[in-house]
Structure 1
Amino acid sequence: MHAYFFRLLWLLAAVAFLRCSSRETGETKTDTPGQETFGDALSFLKKHTDVIVLTAPDNDSAQVAVVGAYQGRVMTSTATGKAGSSYGWLNRTFIAANRYEPHMNAYGGEDRIWLSPEGGQFSVYFRPGAPFDFASWQAPAIIDTVRYRLVRQDKTQALFSQSATLVNHSGTRFDIRIDRKITVLPRAQISRLLGVETLAGLQVVGYETENTLRNEGADWQRDKGALGIWILGMFNPSPQTTIIAPFTKQRSASVQLTDNYFGKIPTDRLQIQDSVVLLRADGTFRSKIGIAPASARPVAGSYDPVRGILTLVQFDLNPTGDYLKSAWERHKEPYKGDVLNAYNDGPLTDGSQMGPFYELESNSAVRPLKRGDSLIHHHRTFHVEGDRDALQRLAQAVLGVDLRQLPKWPNKRD
């Protein structure tokens, strides 16, 4: 049976929980998705957990909210202070319920760490010998329920750490430590990273997570499995938001794209142009894409023309590296996975829905680590608002797209 059928079962269970929880807690979300302010989001989070607010060294309006109890997760951010837009999607009902659930705990947030692979013979989500089904699937505590220890913190940066022992589906033991360093970036550094001379006319928040996976046990053997770093960001959709995934033809004749994770995506939701894949991110239709390292560029993004928000992500990319496959099945080529994934949320078969949200995700390349060796993966997120012409110039320079030429998605499907 197809692996993503079981993911569907989990989502059904999660939505059922959310319905029950909202009745028990009285927590409702009346804000239109994407319309709440950063101050609103911060106030809500502080009611339920401890929050660290980091700010840019040269701009106190560029702020990032981080929660150590949620694995050092970046929950949301803003470029324009507490009265400005809150960019990250928060699962308010689940957070307000303040209890753990089986299989996984979905808090939301715009930069969280997971481990790859999710499925297959090297997965640490399935016990040795367990079938690849929903009842057997369990997110490891180190990426799901364990609070990360705050090592140090200042105005612009926070470092978290946590250790664990995991066993993969093949019975291989991994003794690991994860370190997550979140740094809010100054404007001049953002310009350099994006490869532009100026950000004049624009408000921007940019931050980097440096994610380190250290082997504290026996040397890893390639034929017995490896672990990778997987960063996922959840954002607020809108009817005309477009995910933008550039690709290169220099390393392969055509884009190596997977677009059938949940069945084939309709053409009125997915477009492949000369050097970019465009996916509608309206939060009303479940769809997912993946790009292989031979085709990917180390950047992706999204654009919401209604609110005038351009989101960009950068990530480490090794075009010839090994990337782990995560489908819930035994793999003939487990090291031939994607580096970039993007997901648009939508209703399940019964009409219920956890979101709406959309995701931009990056994966690290992997290698057999010796004892004491580390794997490091950088993932950066930038949110930009302001003058539309300046936004257009930035998108053209970074993503190679003309924002004015993005699809005008139909209001409803025929």
Structure 2
Amino acid sequence: MCRLLKRLLCVILFITISACNNSDVYPISTFGEDLEVINSVISPVILKDRERQIVVSSEFQGRIFTSTSQGLGGTSYGWFNKNILLSDSVLVNRSKIGGEGRIWFGPDQGPNTIFFKIDEKTGEKLHAAPKDLNTLSFNILAQSSGSVKLGNKLHIENLKGFHFNIEVERKIELLKEDYVSNFLSNSFSNNLSYVAYKTNTKMTNVGEQDWSKETGLLSLWDLGCYHPTPKTTVIIPLKENVDNATVYFTEIDSTRIVVKDKVLYYKADANYLNKIGTLPEYTLPYFGSYSPELNSLTIVKFSFNSLDKEYVNAHPVNVENQYRGDVINVFNDGKWGEVGPFGPFYELETSSPAKELKVGESVSHFQEVYHFKGSKKELNKISISVLGVSIKDIEIALP
């Protein structure tokens, strides 16, 4: 009864926050407000280093719901679906919650997809997330004030009818100041507000069959949902200039995507449903996003070996080569015909390579996420140091 009352109060709080925010920017709660909503439903793990905190859930498969660089009153960096979280069906809809760090498995489209099934009665192809991804909790395997390790075994079936039995272990740790300072080198400043964390996920084939390309492969897929603003821009440094990125769902033009001087700029304003990606031959192991409205810069650094050439292809149309897929993906929410919007949010996503795992073999994938908040001068130093472009370059890249 107590938890139900808290949930009702959180619904009222959520509606109030949405009504009172600046209309030029989508509603963004404080970390404390988001934490109150989460606490009304589950008992999360809070990793904390002074004002820097992240919310991790074992009930939602090692998901990072959100983070803050400025304590309870600071901006909540992650977006998650409060309507679903506060609904009675939440524990059978875990895959739809969002959050700024969740583990999925690719591909979600194409002949090897794990997000569709064939209806036995009609023969129709129906969209459906794997049951375990929607209903299974993870176990806490180890925990300290700054890190937590979680995991469980999952069963996943692809459209071809191949059964994957996997064991997943996911370690999440808050990154300390000396680690962040070393990463940024001379661009680090004590005037910055920041929070940073690392996720390292391992997937092991614990079934009775080796995996093969013919029957389909899985990849580890790490996705983060963030709050968009009208001028949010994603920045993806490239090994070389490309004519365009991989484009999904809808067409886009130079008002939304530009490649200049080996850097891809993409508008992430949650105002047009679209998705892009970069192939391994063009990929570097870092990218980010910048919001002038929020005075914030996000950097994602991830595991990537240029010798790995094969990634699952999740394109819904271009399916000729099922192992010529993207390493980086960016999803922009919005409305397209009768579809969407789903948030509003945008996603920064990275994937592991596709591996033919024999029984007992594993593949791992890590991400480091850095949120920086501060003056344009301080953010500019980081942007130049890590992404190779200035804040001015980012601001004038797109109309």
Please indicate the TM-score interval, normalised by the length of the shorter structure. Answer: 0.7 to 0.9
Provide the rounded CA distance (Å) in 2 between the counterparts of 1:192 and 1:69: 34
Q: Give how far 1:353 is off.
A: 2.4
Q: Which position in structure 1 is the counterpart of 2:369?
A: 381
2:137 matched to 1:163? no
Q: Which position in structure 1 is the counterpart of 2:291?
A: 304
Match of 1:283 among 270, 275, 278: 270
Q: Note the 1:233-382 alignment, pairs <5 A.
A: 233-249=224-240, 254-255=241-242, 257-321=244-308, 322-328=310-316, 331-350=319-338, 353-382=341-370
Identical columns (%): 30
Structure 2: where are the runs of 5+ without partners? Answer: 1-7
- 8 Å CA contact 2:303–2:365 kept in 1: the answer is yes
Provide the rounded CA distance (Å) in 2 between the counterparts of 1:384 and 1:258: 27
Provide the rounded CA distance (Å) in 1 between the counterparts of 2:217 and 2:16: 40
Is 193-202 or 148-157 further displaced after alignment?
Answer: 193-202
Provide the rounded CA distance (Å) in 2 between the counterparts of 1:129 and 1:353: 27
Q: Which position in structure 1 is the counterpart of 2:178?
A: 188
SS, match of residue 214 in structure 2: helix
SS, match of residue 395 in structure 2: coil
SS, match of residue 70 in structure 2: coil
CA RMSD of aligned residues (A): 2.6
Q: Which position in structure 2 is the counterpart of 1:49?
A: 42
Provide the rounded CA distance (Å) in 2 between the counterparts of 1:244 and 1:390: 17
Specify the code of the residue in structure 2 equivalent to 1:188.
D
SS, match of residue 155 in structure 1: coil
Q: Which position in structure 2 is the counterpart of 1:231?
A: 222
Q: Which position in structure 1 is the counterpart of 2:5?
A: none
Q: Give how far 1:105 is off.
A: 4.3
Q: Give how far 1:199 is off.
A: 3.2
Is 177-186 or 275-284 further displaced after alignment?
Answer: 275-284
Q: Give how far 1:407 is off.
A: 3.5
Q: Note closer, same or farther for the CA distance 1:240–1:300 as it changes in structure 2 (3 Å cut).
A: same
- 8 Å CA contact 1:103–1:138 kept in 2: the answer is no
SS, match of residue 28 in structure 1: helix
Kindly provide the CA deviation profile for residues 176-218 of structure 1, in whole angstroms up to 9, marking residues without a partner as x.
1111111000011123334556333212110011011011122
Q: Note closer, same or farther for the CA distance 1:182–1:257 as it changes in structure 2 (3 Å cut).
A: farther
Specify the code of the residue in structure 1 equivalent to 2:313.
K
Q: Which position in structure 2 is the counterpart of 1:219?
A: 210
Q: Note closer, same or farther for the CA distance 1:102–1:46 as it changes in structure 2 (3 Å cut).
A: closer
Provide the rounded CA distance (Å) in 2 between the counterparts of 1:372 and 1:195: 40
- 8 Å CA contact 1:102–1:138 kept in 2: the answer is no
2:75 matched to 1:88? no
Q: Note closer, same or farther for the CA distance 1:130–1:327 as it changes in structure 2 (3 Å cut).
A: farther
- 8 Å CA contact 1:232–1:362 kept in 2: the answer is yes
Is 356-365 or 192-201 further displaced after alignment?
Answer: 192-201
Specify the code of the residue in structure 2 equivalent to 1:332.
E
Match of 1:403 among 391, 395, 399: 391
Q: Which position in structure 1 is the counterpart of 2:31?
A: 38
Provide the rounded CA distance (Å) in 2 between the counterparts of 1:383 and 1:232: 15
Is 240-249 or 92-101 further displaced after alignment?
Answer: 92-101
Task: Calculate the TM-score normalised by the size of structure 2.
Answer: 0.88
Kindly provide the CA deviation profile for residues 11-52 of structure 1, in whole angstroms up to 9, marking residues without a partner as x.
xxxxxxxxxxx9xx7763633435321111111111122211
Kindly provide the CA deviation profile for residues 265-304 of structure 1, in whole angstroms up to 9, marking residues without a partner as x.
1322222111111111211111221000110111111111
Specify the code of the residue in structure 1 equivalent to 2:225.
M
Provide the rounded CA distance (Å) in 1 between the counterparts of 2:316 and 2:199: 28
Q: Note closer, same or farther for the CA distance 1:136–1:111 as it changes in structure 2 (3 Å cut).
A: same
